[in-house]
């Protein structure tokens, strides 16, 4: 386990950023100034999501415990490959504090706490809880980390990480998904997440270098732009391999020479990386 340095801080307020004409989220007063004081004009939607968040946290405790137990069993079954027999207490807490039912379409809510991937529209999925927990553990999140996520999707993985690190910068190529994820995350008052609607193959150079990078779609290799935005001794967790050709969940560490040292962890199946 990597040694964590620094401490997390959470900035009150949510600023907005404009990328390719699309309003996306960031945090803090300075960001609001950079965005020209633009405000988020979804007060009724925001209020409804906030109510749903509170209800989910109070009404789904047993479902969450059942999901955590399923994740535990999956960790135990794969321990010989992953080297991990279970979740750490901090990752368990982050998973428990993130209501998965709010990140899936209404038609999928009955299965929200099952240990399965679910469709979220636009030919994308929300990863199964075990995979989210495993990727989070492999990323070795520390309170002072700045993390780049490629593939916001529903926003679920970013929400889990937001409990564990300083700031998550998340890039999503599908604009409607980025917009919906932002609405959810703001309702949950996770103000240390920036969501950008952009091409993930370019990463997000504005705040590079990043301590950790997580990629939630499968590519044949790590795009050069993303590699360049990782700090020395930083980690990338990503599924590697073309769709249908045997993907591997991999951990890559950047050495002092700039080379990525790869360790394959587990066979997986992710949607394909759609960066251009």
Is there a cis peptide before residue 209, judged by omega within 30 degrees of 0?
Answer: yes
Going 93 to 118 to 266 to 213, the CA torsion angle's sign is: negative
Secondary structure of 127-144 as H, E, C letters: CCHHHHHHHHHHHCCCCC
Helices (H), the chain: 29-34, 43-59, 61-82, 89-96, 129-139, 156-162, 175-187, 224-228
Q: Which residue has the tokens 């593939």?
A: 151
Whether 154 is catalytic is no
Choosing from 7, 47, 127, 243, which is the catalytic residue?
A: 127
Nearest to 151 by CA among 214, 95, 76, 107: 214
C-beta of residue 67 within 8 angstroms of C-beta of residue 100: yes
Residues 6+ away with beta carbon under 8 Å from 9: 166, 192
How far does Cα 12 stand from its chain's mean position? 20
Catalytic residues: 127
């Amino acid at each position: 386990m990597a040694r964590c340095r620094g401490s997390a801080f959470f900035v009150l307020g949510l600023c907005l950023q404009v990328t390719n004409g699309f309003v996306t989220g960031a945090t803090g007063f300075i960001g609001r100034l950079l965005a020209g004081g633009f405000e988020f004009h979804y007060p009724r939607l925001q209020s409804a999501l906030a109510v749903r968040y509170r209800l989910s946290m109070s009404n789904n405790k047993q479902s969450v415990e059942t999901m955590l137990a399923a994740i535990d069993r999956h960790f135990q079954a794969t321990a010989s490959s992953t080297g991990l027999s279970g979740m750490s207490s901090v990752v368990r807490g982050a998973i428990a504090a993130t209501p998965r039912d709010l990140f899936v379409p209404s038609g999928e809510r009955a299965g929200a706490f099952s240990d399965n991937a679910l469709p979220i529209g636009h030919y994308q999925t929300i990863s199964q809880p075990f995979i989210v927990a495993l990727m989070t553990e492999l990323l070795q999140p520390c309170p002072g980390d700045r993390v780049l996520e490629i593939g916001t999707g529903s926003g679920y993985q970013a929400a889990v990480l937001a409990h564990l690190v300083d700031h998550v910068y998340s890039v999503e190529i599908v604009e409607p998904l980025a917009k919906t994820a932002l609405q959810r995350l703001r309702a949950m008052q996770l103000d240390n997440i920036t969501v950008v609607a952009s091409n993930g193959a370019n990463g997000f150079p504005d705040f590079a270098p990043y301590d950790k990078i997580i990629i939630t779609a499968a590519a044949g290799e790590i795009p050069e732009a993303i590699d360049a935005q990782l700090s020395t001794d930083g980690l990338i967790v990503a599924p590697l391999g073309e769709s249908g050709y045997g993907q591997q969940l991999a951990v890559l560490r950047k050495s002092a020479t700039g080379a990525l040292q790869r360790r394959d962890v587990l066979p997986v199946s992710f949607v394909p990386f759609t960066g251009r």
